[in-house]
């Protein structure tokens, strides 16, 4: 890469700018703020970052775009693209490098749409015991007779109020003099955990805000709370901007390992995102409360995420999480000043990062446990948190056992031919008519199902996680897919065919005229296999945990995560995604991780609970279980325990 630069224009958005010669188009897009899907993290593995070089003169931009202005197609590209695609100028953005001025077209499927994030907050009954305490104080003005320093003057007054032995945050001192003098020697002291004076504000200042953030691999959800009342003031969510560096945690670990300064990039990108989330929540709350709220009003934070997210947030090398023996850098929760992470809230505010249980059972799962409290009940609960990774916990007040299972990203729509995130245009629900084998479906952000719509109004772009699960279950229920997972060759549907390009059997969900892609959206044999593997992973994880505790079935199943809100429980049981359990004992609990994080924000006792739980819960390493592989293979069948399923009767 040299200092020389070239002009790159992305179509159809028209976003453009000068980037260094030698830069990959994927990075150019990122630098210019162009949303571009790259699920594999730019490893030339998924072929999803398809772009087209628009050769020829583009007078509008003053560009003569010649083919050689992009680097020649690399090995990865010749493997993943057809000769015809290459001929037509299609390239992978993760491979093609800028060698001169370029006009680059992003096909519909490549464009990253704003995801519809569905992490609504539940009503929570949380006891209020926040980490910060506010005290309004009036001081005597200093005089030549009593020139006692500002700090000692304030500490003496706080001591009268019963708050003694407080350590001052040196950054608080930077505000102290101004606040006292402007406020006529009245001020509000913000004390953290009865031990540190972290901030001073004008007397009577309100609100005192706290923020809990659940940092998912794909999405982040923030909960802005009033620390004085415990009320939820506002929620906000956005994509985790690390997505640019890889769709799943493994791609991000790999990005860090193979790029100089990769960890720093992951960290700063995430923190940038968190700051955006803070701004977004504050703006919404300001409008709602008709009062200008500032980052300085946020006096405490709690953050949870999987172990890789938490490691990258704290700037800890995630590489050991990616290989045997999967030892994290730390288990215990971390208290760190937000400013030391670059998070722009009150300079004195702390962030409490929840403890990790294991490399693949992180603070977010601790959050789930905090919210659902299986350790406080007699009934045996099984909680399944399905995301890119599946995290499972089983137990009651006698003890908890947990594990993680590599579901793969299929359940979130990745590694699927037409997989995508739950963004507008994604098929999220599917029904198949058992008689005609015709398909009805619904897309994200459109109320009307296909059967009530004009084909052109559907604008299908792909299939998201819940849509895939729905589709596979329906295909099985209607006999299109056999128990083994193979397509039934004996079926008459006109939607069933063999793709001449991929040579895979496939089933059409949406015809080309219902899409914005100009081609049929299908589920193919490979997709079904991915779902089989995912469901097998979850099922066998659950089964081995039950075995370990000598149980046949749990008393209750809770499905956590945004994913859980959108799957049909009956279908899930039909497919054998979860172990046998009465249907009325299966419930979805929404973003329990976020709820638990919010509980930790509002209640110090929940933080102690988090630390205890994280220490006490027993981690089951599936790969050490001799029977695991057999269980896994067996569990790939649909459904696993067909006959016993009460759901089929219920």
Contacting residues toward its own copies, per CB under 8 A: 142-153, 168, 170-171, 173-174, 176-178, 181, 314-317, 319-320, 324-332, 334, 336, 340, 356, 358-359, 619, 621, 623-624
Of 481 and 620, CB closest to its own copies = 620
Task: Tell the smallest beta-carbon distance from residue 313 to its own copies (Å).
Answer: 10
| 3-class secondary structure, 514 | helix
- Give the whole-angstrom CA distance, residue 367 versus residue 596: 4
Q: Identify which of 578, 467, 565, 444 has the alpha carbon closest to the alpha carbon of residue 122.
A: 565
Task: Tell the smallest beta-carbon distance from residue 531 to its own copies (Å).
Answer: 28
Q: How many CA atoms lie within 13 A of 299 on its CB side?
A: 28
Task: Tell the smallest beta-carbon distance from residue 278 to its own copies (Å).
Answer: 20
Task: Tell the smallest beta-carbon distance from residue 215 to its own copies (Å).
Answer: 16
Q: What are the φ and ψ backbone dihedral angles of 289, each rounded to 5 degrees?
A: -90, -5
Cβ contact 256:309 at 8 Å: no
Cβ contact 245:270 at 8 Å: no
Of 264 and 456, CB closest to its own copies = 264
Of 160 and 624, CB closest to its own copies = 624
Of 178 and 399, CB closest to its own copies = 178
- Give the whole-angstrom CA distance, residue 383 versus residue 562: 14
Task: Tell the smallest beta-carbon distance from residue 252 to its own copies (Å).
Answer: 16
Of 77 and 169, CB closest to its own copies = 169
- Give the whole-angstrom CA distance, residue 65 versus residue 102: 5
Of 46 and 341, CB closest to its own copies = 341
Cβ contact 427:416 at 8 Å: no
Q: How far from each other are the two terminal CA atoms of the chain, in whole angstroms?
A: 64
Task: Tell the smallest beta-carbon distance from residue 174 to its own copies (Å).
Answer: 5
Q: Identify which of 605, 595, 602 has the alpha carbon closest to the alpha carbon of residue 230.
A: 602
Task: Tell the smallest beta-carbon distance from residue 625 to its own copies (Å).
Answer: 11
Tell me how long the chain is: 650
Helix or strand run (H / E) with residue 300: strand 298-305
Of 104 and 620, CB closest to its own copies = 620
Q: Identify which of 462, 572, 553, 563 has the alpha carbon closest to the alpha carbon of residue 514.
A: 462
Cβ contact 301:343 at 8 Å: yes
Task: Tell the smallest beta-carbon distance from residue 305 to its own copies (Å).
Answer: 15
- Give the whole-angstrom CA distance, residue 200 versus residue 188: 5
Of 187 and 316, CB closest to its own copies = 316
Task: Tell the smallest beta-carbon distance from residue 173 to its own copies (Å).
Answer: 5
Task: Tell the smallest beta-carbon distance from residue 527 to its own copies (Å).
Answer: 32
Of 342 and 455, CB closest to its own copies = 342
Total Cβ atoms within 10 A of residue 145: 5
Of 291 and 615, CB closest to its own copies = 615
3-state SS string for 68-119: HHECCCCHHHHHHCCHHHHHCCEEECCCCEECCCEEEECCHHHECCCCCCCC
Of 256 and 637, CB closest to its own copies = 256
Task: Tell the smallest beta-carbon distance from residue 399 to its own copies (Å).
Answer: 19
Q: Identify which of 594, 619, 599 has the alpha carbon closest to the alpha carbon of residue 610.
A: 599
Task: Tell the smallest beta-carbon distance from residue 324 to its own copies (Å).
Answer: 6
- Give the whole-angstrom CA distance, residue 420 versus residue 462: 6
- Give the whole-angstrom CA distance, residue 36 versus residue 109: 9
Beta strands 586-590; 426-432: pairing state: unpaired
Of 57 and 141, CB closest to its own copies = 141
- Give the whole-angstrom CA distance, residue 73 versus residue 546: 51
């Amino acid at each position: 890469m040299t200092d020389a630069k070239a002009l790159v224009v992305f179509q159809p958005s028209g976003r453009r700018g000068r980037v260094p010669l030698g830069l990959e188009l994927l990075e150019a897009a990122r630098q210019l703020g162009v949303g571009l899907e790259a699920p594999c993290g730019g490893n030339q593995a998924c072929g999803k970052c398809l772009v087209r070089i628009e050769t020829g003169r583009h007078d509008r931009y003053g560009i003569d775009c010649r083919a050689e202005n992009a680097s020649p197609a690399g090995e990865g590209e010749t493997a993943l693209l057809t000769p015809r695609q290459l001929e037509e100028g299609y390239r992978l953005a993760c491979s093609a490098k800028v060698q001169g001025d370029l006009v680059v077209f992003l096909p519909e499927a490549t464009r990253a749409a704003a995801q519809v994030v569905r992490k609504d907050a539940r009503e929570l009954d949380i006891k209020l015991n926040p980490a910060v305490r506010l005290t309004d104080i009036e001081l005597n003005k200093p005089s030549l007779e009593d020139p006692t320093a500002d700090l000692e003057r304030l500490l003496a007054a706080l001591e009268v109020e019963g708050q003694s032995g407080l350590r001052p945050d040196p950054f608080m001192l930077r505000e102290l003099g101004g606040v006292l003098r402007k406020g006529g020697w009245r001020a509000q002291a913000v004390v953290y955990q009865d031990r540190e004076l972290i901030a001073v504000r004008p007397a009577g200042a309100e609100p005192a805000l706290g923020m809990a953030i659940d940092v998912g691999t794909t999405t982040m959800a923030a909960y802005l709370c009033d620390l004085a009342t415990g009320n939820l003031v506002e929620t906000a969510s956005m994509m985790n901007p690390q997505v640019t560096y890889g769709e799943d945690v493994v791609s991000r670990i790999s990005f860090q390992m193979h790029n100089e300064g990769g960890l720093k990039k992951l960290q700063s990108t995430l923190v940038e995102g968190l700051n955006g989330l803070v701004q977004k929540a504050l703006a919404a709350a300001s409008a709602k409360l008709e009062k200008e709220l500032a980052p300085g009003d946020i006096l405490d934070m709690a953050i949870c995420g999987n172990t890789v997210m938490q490691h990258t947030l704290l700037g800890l090398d995630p590489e050991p999480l990616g290989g045997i023996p999967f030892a994290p850098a730390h288990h215990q929760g971390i208290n760190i000043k937000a400013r030391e992470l670059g998070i722009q809230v009150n300079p004195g505010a702390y962030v409490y990062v929840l403890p990790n249980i294991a490399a693949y059972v992180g603070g977010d799962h601790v959050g789930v446990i905090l919210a659902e409290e299986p350790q406080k009940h007699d009934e045996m609960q099984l909680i399944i948190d399905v995301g890119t990774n599946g995290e499972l916990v089983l137990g009651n007040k006698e003890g908890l056992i947990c594990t993680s299972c590599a579901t793969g990203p299929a359940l979130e729509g990745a590694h699927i031919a037409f997989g995508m995130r739950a963004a507008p245009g994604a098929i999220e629900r599917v029904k198949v008519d058992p008689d005609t084998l015709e398909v009805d479906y619904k897309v994200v952000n459109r109320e009307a199902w296909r059967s009530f719509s004009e084909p052109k109004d559907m604008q299908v772009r792909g299939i998201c996680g819940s849509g895939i699960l729905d589709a596979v279950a329906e295909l099985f229920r209607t006999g299109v897919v056999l128990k083994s997972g193979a397509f039934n060759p004996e079926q008459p549907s006109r939607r069933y065919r063999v793709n001449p390009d991929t040579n895979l059997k496939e089933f059409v969900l949406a015809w080309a005229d219902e899409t914005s892609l100009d081609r049929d959206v299908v589920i193919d044999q490979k997709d079904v296999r991915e779902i089989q593997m995912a469901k097998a992973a979850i099922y066998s994880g659950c089964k081995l945990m039950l075995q370990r505790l000598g149980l046949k079935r749990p008393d209750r199943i809770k499905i956590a995560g945004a994913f859980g809100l959108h799957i049909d429980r009956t279908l899930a049981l039909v497919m054998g995604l979860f172990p046998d359990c009465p249907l009325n004992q299966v419930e979805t609990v929404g973003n329990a991780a976020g709820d638990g994080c919010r509980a930790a924000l509002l209640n110090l006792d929940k933080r102690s609970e988090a630390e205890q739980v994280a220490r006490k819960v027993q981690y089951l390493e599936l790969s050490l279980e001799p029977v695991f592989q057999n269980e896994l293979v067996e569990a790939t069948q649909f459904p696993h325990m067909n006959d016993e399923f009460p759901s089929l009767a219920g």
